[in-house]
Structure 1
């Protein structure tokens, strides 16, 4: 298998390039800096020997590894995104390599006293003795999803260099703007030409997911009326208080920090305002479609109720659906999940089949005609300063990709 040093160098070369996406931009990609990594990936795909390497005007990348077998096998694909989350800085990422992790606290930043501790992040204890790549505590790392890109390119390189491993035609795709819910919006499924694909965008080793949140965003606009505080009686309308009423009227325990498994939530992600005008931004999530629709209705009803208390409209809401639960599209083709599960078991990796408390490009792609379960990429604590990835997890993900290609070839040879 590809050495740890090669994987580390490849991964670090990606995370050193700032690729944060911007939800307030209408362009694709949403930030010009995403082109810097996109162009590098195109060059690297050509360098390792991939064919039909293309990048379009929106920075979507596709490439082909031709089949090396005579019998007919469905074309399969592997997909990752190269943008990073706007939730936390991705500028000047300074990774630290922790070899032979001892299971104790990791001092990320002495000056700022930032510590990555297994007392808080218990998953760390799974990786005693392994090599971890962490942040320096001032940025995110970018394992979401540059670990996935590392794994796909490394797996393709391995297959090219080991032609004795049988495989059908494989397509790879890298997308911008996944972190702002637009990664699949301009993905050309017909051009990609795969029967099914896998996103390499999960977390811990063994994750295999074909169920995700239904997702929507909501913006609430509150309009007040500013009057001199000394003469404000019966005249001032403080938009901040109205916004506060809205926030407090939603179920307090149905938030990310109080929910797990298939429990949905309302998440207040941003608030800005003054007496005259306040704006709230929420994301709405639920695995159950009926519960998801009920959450949206609850917010709309709350807006109507608040407006009924005033002589004019003081609050408005805009809700936009983002993606849907892919389970509906995967269940009719469950053999594609079975292949991934078989690949993991063949490598002595315990499959962890569970719903995603989030979304991937695969959710939207599944509804666009490309069934696309999600496989682990190995990272933890995404979107923040405590993000890390074990190098051994990257190695295992590479092995899973290779094994999926091999098992798919064997499966269709038997027919």
Structure 2
């Protein structure tokens, strides 16, 4: 089990995401005493009888004034069992791009539902987006459970409806945990509450501490995008040639056979260097320098991979993208594509379809994709990129589309047709 869990929150407006995140920080003692004092004073000034913990996390002035979360904010907290990086994402439809950005690297998403409202359109929308992104684990937090008359019946009904939704979107029963909570009063957050005798499962923090989520959820071999070629050319190292980067997937060991892509040349790893000394192996997430047995022409953007499952180099492919900028994405647009450590020129061939995350349908041939919209496009690149299908590996299957004139990021993309994995219409997602 990894000792670090990357998670995100999602849910509709006023479901209590900020209060929940504030409660997680408070219950794990991840906030300072003066911050708590300031929140308590502000809550009293507003006429509240209990501290409004959402004030701990809604840091932007616009967020405080409107009482909503607008931007993605990353929070860090820890327990004796695990460390956590949490992306607190907005609930509004117009901030879909922020939700996609925050959840794109999440290993688990906490999806909040107001017990008084149940599963609504935004719940289905966010679940579909999480399925598209390939998030492996979900927690359904049924919040404000203290505000309904028959909490056991309400909780059971919401769980049944949500389980039908997640099953249709491809999650198994072991991938989803349902928990009744009150973020305001802390019920089932740090410890199990006596006020929910109908629930016998773990508290939210207990589940987050124990949920088995691998650091690399996909079973693939080595993926090592080369970031920099190191040639010190000193008397002590006259023939040193190392290839520096971060292991994006799998692992590498001294003596392993590898293939350099896109050239397809094979060699053997003779040494694994780090700033702290030599290693005999390195796993995903570790930054290292690899030395090879053969003198090969390798440069930034090349990928060192396992020969047994090496991905193909592609220059013409379909991808699912989410538009992040005001500038619409149009057929014929000439952009820069950044994938891993490689940047190359690209052209958008066509806009194949747009995903309507409100109606959970796909609209063919929309012409353009605008801000926050998700769709499937065809792309051609000037130089081949070495990429896995996103459904196989999230790290090497993602990319950015960049405006070459301004340097602004226009869209985030997933190699392959991620929309087909959702199969909303055919699987009969409840509406």
With the shorter chain as reference, the TM-score category is under 0.3
User: Which has the larger helix fraction?
Assistant: 1
TM-score when normalising by structure 2: 0.22
Structure number with the higher strand fraction is 2
Q: Which has the higher contact order (CA 8 A, sep 6+)?
A: 1
